[in-house]
Homo-oligomer: A and B are copies of this chain.
Amino acid sequence: MKDVAQKAGVGLGTVSRVLNKSGYVSEEAQQKVWEAVKQLRYVPNGVAQSMVTKHSYTLGVVLPDFTNPFFPGLARGIENEARKHGYTIIMIDTDWQEHNESQAIDTLRQRSIDGALLVASANALSFVHRLCEAKIPVVLLDRGVEDLDAISQVTVDHYKGACKAMAWAYEKGYTRVGFLSGPAKVSSANLRLRGYLDAIGRGDVAVDEIEQHPELPVVRADFSFEKGRQATEELLRTHPDVTCIFAANDLSALGALSYLTARGIAVPDDIAIIGFDDILMATLVHPSLTTIRQPTYEMGTLAARLLLQQLADPRSKPEKHILEPTLIVRQTC
Contact = CB atoms under 8 A, between A and B. Distances in A.
A247 B256 CA distance: 28
Contacts of A261: 286
Main SS of chain A's interface residues? helix
A83 B102 CA distance: 13
A107 B88 contact: yes
A92 B89 contact: yes
Specify which of A109, A111, A280, A284 lies most central, judged by the most chain B CB atoms within 10 Å of its CB.
Answer: A284
A64 to B, nearest CB: 12
B133 A41 contact: yes
Interface in A36-65: 41, 43-48, 50-51, 56, 58
Specify which of A45, A80, A111 lies most central, judged by the most chain B CB atoms within 10 Å of its CB.
Answer: A111
Contact of A285 (B44, B91, B133, B284): B284
A76 B278 CA distance: 22
Interface residues of A, number: 49
Nearest to A90: B90
Given A112-B45, A284-B285, A285-B286, A83 B100 contact: yes
A46 B280 contact: no
A66 to B, nearest CB: 5
A47 B56 contact: yes
A111 B284 contact: no
Interface string A179-202: 000000000000000000000000
A92 B69 CA distance: 17
Contacts of A58: 90, 111
Contacts of A88: 90, 92, 107, 111
A206 to B, nearest CB: 34
Contact of A67 (B73, B111, B225, B284): B73
A43 B73 CA distance: 32
B69 A111 contact: no
B56 A66 contact: no
Nearest to A54: B47
11 contacts: A43-B110, A46-B111, A47-B47, A67-B69, A75-B93, A76-B93, A88-B107, A89-B91, A89-B92, A90-B90, A254-B284
Interface of A: 41, 43-48, 50-51, 56, 58, 66-67, 69, 72-73, 75-76, 79-80, 83, 88-93, 95, 100, 103, 106-107, 109-112, 133-134, 225, 254, 257-258, 261, 280-281, 283-286
A-B CB proximity, top 3 nearest: A286-B286, A46-B110, A91-B91
